[in-house]
Structure 1
Amino acid sequence: MEETPIEKLQRILREKATDPRAPMQVAERRELMEKMSFKVKDDITVETVQAAGLEAEWLRAPGAQKDRAILYFHGGGYVIGSPNTHRALGGEISRTSQASVLMPDYRLAPEAPFPAAVEDGVSGYRWLLDQGFTPAQIAIGGDSAGGGLVVATLVSARDQGLAMPRAAVCISPWSDMTCSNESYRTRDAADPMVKHAGITQMAALYLNGADPKDPLASPNFADLTGLPPVLIHVGSDETLHDDAIALDRKAKADGVQSTLEVWDKMVHVWHAFHPILPEGKEGIERVGEFLCQQWAA
C-alpha cells in the first residue's frame, strides 16, 4: 500500500533523526537545520533590516498590504534556527495573510539564555510601533519555541504597559519548560521530531538555572488576561500536544479568545513542510484566514 505524504514525511524524519539522549552539539545542530531548510519562493521579496539592534528580514509576498505586519518568531528550541531556516514558511504566511512578515534573528541560548529572547521579542514589537504601525495593524506569530515566545512576549509587553496587537498565532507551541505534561511520554514514540530527552536538554540550555515555571519562560503558568485573540495549532501525535491543550485552557480561563485546532496525525510544525506536504499548505492557509478575519473584525 502506497505511503501517504504524512507517512512518507514521518519515515524520512525518523531516518534522519539523531539520538536525543546524546549530549547536544549546538554548532552541529544549527548547521544541520540550516542545511535542511526549504528555499523561499522566487516571488517573495526579502529585505534585510536592523530592527531594535537585531538583524531581521521583511518577507513580502505579492499583494502584501503595507499597513499589516506580522512579527514572527522562528522555532528551534531557543537554541537553533534563524530567519534563513524559516524564510520559506514566513513567505507563505505573508502570502495567505496578505501582510508583511518581520522575522527577527533573536538571540539564542546558550550564548544568550532566558530572558534574552523575550527581551528581543518585546523590542521587535516596540520597533514596529516606532515604524508607525498601530497595535491593531500588527499580529504576532511563531512556531515551536517561537510559539511559546509569542505568548511570553505578549505577557511582557502587556506588563510594560504596551497596547496589545490585533491577534496572535502559535504553531506547535512549546509553552511549558517543565517538560512534564503527559504527552511528553505518551507521544514520545509517535513524534519523529521532538523527543523528551532532547527537549529537556534545550530547556536546560535556555533556562540556565532559571525557574522553569517562570511565566516568561513557561507562559502556561502566566496570567494571560488582556491578551489578543489567539489561534493555536498542534498535531495529534506531537510530544508538545498537551502544552498546546494547557495553553488553550489557560487562555480561555483568563478571558482570552482562544481557538485550538488539533490536526490529525500531523508532525511538529507541519506547516514548515508545505513544499512536500498538502496539510502544510492547508495549515498556512488556515493561519492566513484567521489573521485576515481578525484584521477585518
Structure 2
Amino acid sequence: MEISREADTLRALYQNWTDQMVENPDLTIANLRSMFDEWGQPAQEPENVSYKSDHVGGVEAIWALPAGADTSRVIVYTHGGGFAVGSADSHRKMAGHLAKVLGVTSVILHYRRAPEHPFPAQIEDAVAAYKALLDKGFKARNILTAGDSAGGNLAIASVLKLRELGLPLPGAVIAYSPWLDMAMRGETLETNAETDALVGKPILEAMAGMFLGEGTDPLNPLANPLENDFTGYPPLYINAGGAETLKSDAERLHEKAKAQGVNVTLSIVEGMQHVFPALSGRAPEANEELGRIAAWYRAL
C-alpha cells in the first residue's frame, strides 16, 4: 500500500520513539511523558483556531475555539497515551482540526494519568467535565465525546458510565484507533506486529499494568469497553490504520455495536499507522478522513 510522503512522518516519529525505548529500557515515566509530548508535531496548526486554558469540572483543560464555530456544540476530547503519557497540549492541534471541520468547539482534557492515578480516575475526570458542561447549559445532544487510542477508550467508556449514572447521553462518539481490550486478545496484535512502528504487546502490557493498578480486572467493563452491551448507545464513528496492531479492537467494537443496533461507522485506512489523524493538516490521508467524519456528523 503506497502512502504519502507526509504520512510517513508519523511512522518515522513512532519508530524513533520505539528505538529510544528499546535502547533505554529504564526510561522514567517523566522521560516518557516528555518524549510523547512530541505527538503534537505531525499535525499542522489549524488556521483560525484559538486556544484557551481552563478548568472544567475541576479538570485542567484546553479549549479549541475555531472562528465561526457553533458555540452551543462541544467535543469533550480525551487524549491518547496509554492512560499514562500524552497531554492536552500534545493533542490540541488534532482536536482543533476535528472541531474546525465539524464547526464546533472542543475542550481537551488533561485528565489524571496513571500510574499515579490508576483506573477509574480517568473516567471520573471525563464524567466530571461532562457534568460541568451540562451545568453550563450545553444540551447533551450537542456534546460529542472523542478521543484517540487510550483516549478513544475513555470517549467510549465515559458514555457507558454516564448511562450507568442515568445521565443524558451525548449526541455522538468519535474514536480514533481506540485501545479497548485490556486483555489483549486482538488478532492484529500478531498479524500487524511487523507493520506497526509503535504499538506492540510489551508496551500495551506495561501501560495496562499502570492503568489497571493492583486490583482491576482487565475484563472490567469500564476499563475494557468490549465487555459491554451497546444497546441504545449514541451514533459512533470509529477509525483505525490498516498497518496498526490495534485494528482488531476497532473492528470488534464495530461488529458488536452494529449487532446491537447502534448507528456505527468504521473507517480503516490502509497503510496508516496508529492514530493517523495525528497528521491532520499535513497528510492527505488524514485530511480525507476528517472530511469523511464531517460528512458523517452532518448526516446525523
TM-score by length of 1: 0.93
12 and 67 in structure 1: CA distance in 2 versus 1, 3 angstrom threshold: closer
35 and 6 in structure 1: CA distance in 2 versus 1, 3 angstrom threshold: closer
Match of 2:173 in 1: 168
The 8 Å contact of residues 230 and 257 in structure 1, kept in 2 or not, is answered as: yes
How many aligned positions are there? Answer: 294
Post-superposition shift, 1:140?
Answer: 0.9
Match of 2:241 among 235, 256, 272: 235
107 and 266 in structure 1: CA distance in 2 versus 1, 3 angstrom threshold: same
CA deviations over 1:230-257 (Å, ceiling 9, x no partner): 0000111111010111111111222211
Match of 2:81 in 1: 76
Secondary structure, counterpart of 1:111 in structure 2: coil
CA deviations over 1:9-65 (Å, ceiling 9, x no partner): 434532442365635521111001224523634521111121111111111111211
Q: Distance in 1 between matches of 2:159 and 2:3?
A: 44
11 and 107 in structure 1: CA distance in 2 versus 1, 3 angstrom threshold: closer
Mind listing any 5+ residue stretches in structure 2 that lack a counterpart?
Answer: none
Match of 1:89 in 2: 94
Match of 2:19 in 1: 18
1:274 and 2:275 equivalent?
A: no
Amino acid at match of 2:31: E
- Between 93-102 and 279-288, report the one with greater CA deviation: 279-288
CA deviations over 1:96-155 (Å, ceiling 9, x no partner): 000000111111000100011111111111111111011111111111001111111011
1:253 and 2:259 equivalent?
A: yes
Which structure 1 residue ranges, 4+ long, deviate > 4 Å from structure 2?
A: none
Match of 2:34 in 1: 31
Mind listing any 5+ residue stretches in structure 1 that lack a counterpart?
Answer: none
Q: Distance in 2 between matches of 1:72 and 1:188?
A: 28
Match of 1:216 in 2: 222
Post-superposition shift, 1:207?
Answer: 0.3
Cα RMSD after superposing both structures: 2.0
16 and 146 in structure 1: CA distance in 2 versus 1, 3 angstrom threshold: closer
TM-score by length of 2: 0.92
- Between 26-35 and 41-50, report the one with greater CA deviation: 41-50
Amino acid at match of 2:78: F
Secondary structure, counterpart of 1:204 in structure 2: helix
6 and 41 in structure 1: CA distance in 2 versus 1, 3 angstrom threshold: closer
CA deviations over 1:240-275 (Å, ceiling 9, x no partner): 010111111111222211111111111111111224
Amino acid at match of 1:166: G
Q: Distance in 1 between matches of 2:298 and 2:220?
A: 33
Q: Distance in 1 between matches of 2:13 and 2:61?
A: 31
Q: Distance in 2 between matches of 1:207 and 1:244?
A: 21
**Percent pairwise identity:** 34
